[in-house]
């Protein structure tokens, strides 16, 4: 719901109440009455988070968590080239996940990608089941512009879990726009990660 809200109302400060199992973006869990009292009293902070800008043809779409490029048929990996100012490689893989630091705890983490501090403006690229075992997750700096071209077979892409459209080429970079999260007290990503995952 939080990602949907950011896609529909970008940039507006948002406070999420976690009612699920993971909820790394949420700042309030089920016992939220005290936190809401603090919110209405103005005792909160606004934290800015980086987003990805995904260009597919003439379309420009922003992602707070991640952009997935994946094989149309999961049993048939595809060849694709990923390149930038400092990188150029051909992947034979089932999927590639491009994540923000915020999205590093989402699908990126579940397939073995690194957890990154949400304060960093970076692009994470994590291949899923690549044929070449040397192709590990890579973290790119904020000025890097990554281009993706599908060489063989069909691929689809999704943005923050929404959409499911064909793609042949795209460009991914850090968006000039930021997401605004409402913080109730000190952010404790590492403690939350340990509490929810172990």
Average pLDDT rounded to a whole number, residues 13-33: 63
Q: Are 54 and 60 in contact (CB under 8 A)?
A: yes
Average pLDDT rounded to a whole number, residues 48-72: 93
Average pLDDT rounded to a whole number, residues 168-178: 94
Q: Are 124 and 134 in contact (CB under 8 A)?
A: no
Average pLDDT rounded to a whole number, residues 88-106: 91
Residue 32 has pLDDT above 70, yes or no: no
pLDDT at 25: 56
> 184 or 142, which is more confident?
142
pLDDT at 22: 56
Residue 75 has pLDDT above 60, yes or no: yes
Average pLDDT rounded to a whole number, residues 35-40: 77
Task: Give the integer Cα–Cα distance in Å for 146 and 84.
Answer: 5
Task: Give the integer Cα–Cα distance in Å for 53 and 175.
Answer: 5
Instruction: State the Cα angle at 103 between 102 and 105, rounded to 5°.
Output: 95
Residue 23 has pLDDT above 80, yes or no: no
Residue 158 has pLDDT above 70, yes or no: yes
Residue 173 has pLDDT above 70, yes or no: yes
């Amino acid at each position: 719901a939080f990602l949907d809200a950011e896609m529909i109302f970008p940039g507006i400060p948002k406070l999420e109440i976690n009612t699920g199992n993971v909820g790394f973006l949420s700042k309030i869990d089920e016992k939220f009455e005290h936190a809401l009292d603090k919110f209405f009293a103005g005792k909160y902070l606004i934290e800015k988070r980086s987003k990805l800008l995904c260009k597919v043809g003439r379309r420009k779409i922003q992602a707070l968590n991640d952009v997935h490029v994946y094989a149309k048929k999961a049993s048939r990996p595809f060849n694709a080239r990923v390149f930038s100012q400092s990188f150029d490689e051909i992947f034979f893989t089932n999927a590639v996940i491009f994540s923000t630091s915020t999205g590093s705890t989402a699908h990126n983490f579940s397939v073995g990608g690194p957890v990154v501090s949400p304060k960093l403006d970076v692009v994470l690229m994590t291949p899923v089941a690549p044929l070449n075992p040397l192709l590990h997750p890579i973290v790119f700096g904020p000025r890097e512009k990554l281009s993706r071209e599908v060489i063989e077979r069909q691929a689809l892409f999704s943005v923050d879990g929404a959409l499911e459209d064909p793609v042949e080429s795209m460009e991914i970079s850090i968006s000039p726009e930021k997401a605004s999260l409402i913080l109730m007290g000190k952010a404790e990503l590492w403690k939350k990660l340990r509490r929810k995952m172990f």
